[in-house]
Amino acid sequence: MEWPAIALEGVDKVFDSTKTGSVRALVDLDLTVERGEFISIVGPSGCGKSTILRLIAGLLPPSQGHVAIDGTPVKEPRDEIGIVFQRPTLLPWLNIRDNVLFPIRHKRGESGRRFHGEAQALLDMVGLGDFSSHMPDQLSGGMQQRAAIARALLLDPDILLMDEPFSALDALTRDEMGFELLRIWEERPKTVVFITHAIAEAVLLSDRVAIMTERPGSIRSVIEIDLPRPRTFATLSSPRFLELSNEIRAGVLHRIATAA
C-alpha cells in the first residue's frame, strides 16, 4: 500500500491556558497531501492554518486524531521536513552562507564545513550566489526570504512547510517570489504545504487549494487547480485563473455571504 506523503485524520487541537481557558483551534480535520504535490491552505484569520503546519512538523501533538508522514505517526520533528516561516528569522551575527548552514550545526552539532558546497549551490539556485558573505541587514526583505528558503532546503527535505512566507513583502516582490518558488519547486520537486491569505498566490502556485472554516477550523472544501504548468505572468490574467480565484474567494467568504 502506498501511503500519502501527509495525512491528518479526525484531528482536533485544543490549547489550554490558565488565563484564557480552553481554545479549540481545529476540529475533526481531515486532509491528505500526495507525494510531490503543492497544496495551499487558505481561510479566515485565526482558523488554525499555522497550527496545521506545526502538527505536521511535529512541533505540536494533536489533542485527538492522527497525523502521519508516509504512514508513520508524527511524534517529533523530523529531518525530512523543512520549514519556512513568515519572516526569514536569519541570525544577524552570521553571514548568509552561515545562516544557510545553521541547521547542520544546530541539529547535528557539525561545523557544516562538508556542506559548504551544497550551501553555495543552493544560494546560486535562489539567486544569492554573490551574496554568501553578506550579512542579513545588507539584503532586501525578498533576498532574506530567498536565503531562508535555501536554508530550509539544505538537508534536502521531502516535505516543505511554508507559513505565509511572502506576507511581509511588497506586492511586486511577492509576485516575483511566487514565480521564484515555482522555479525552485520544479528544479527540486518537494511535497509543499503552503499557508497564505492571498488567493491569487494560492491559485498560481498550487495543484489544490484547501479552504478552511472559521475557528475551530476544519476543511470546508478542496479545489483542484487545473491550470497548465509551467505557469507564467500570462497565467494571472487567464479566464480560468480568474474563475478559480473567484470560486476560492466565495468559499473563504461563505460564512459572511450566508450571514448577509
Q: Write the pLDDT tens digit of every residue in 65-82.
A: 999 999 999 999 888 899
Among 1-15, 55-69, 203-217, 246-260, where is mean pLDDT lowest?
246-260
- Going by C-alpha positions, the residue among 257, 193, 243, 245 that lies closest to residue 219 is 193
**What are the grid coordinates assigned to 156, written together?**
534536502
Structural contact between residues 157 and 192, judged by C-beta atoms closer than 8 angstroms: no
So what's the pLDDT on residue 116?
85
Q: Write the pLDDT tens digit of every residue in 107-137.
A: 665 555 778 888 999 999 999 999 999 999 9
Residue 257 has pLDDT above 60, yes or no: no
> Count of CB atoms within 10 A of residue 107's CB?
11
**What are the grid coordinates assigned to 193, written together?**
504545504
Residue 259 has pLDDT above 50, yes or no: no
Average pLDDT over residues 54-64: 95
Q: Which of the two residues, 222 and 19, has the higher pLDDT score?
A: 222
Average pLDDT over residues 19-26: 84
Interacting residues of 25 by C-beta distance below 8 A, sequence separation 6+: 13, 14, 15, 48, 51, 215, 216, 217
| Whole-Å CA distances, 229 to 121, 135, 168, 183 | 25, 36, 27, 11
So what's the pLDDT on residue 260?
44
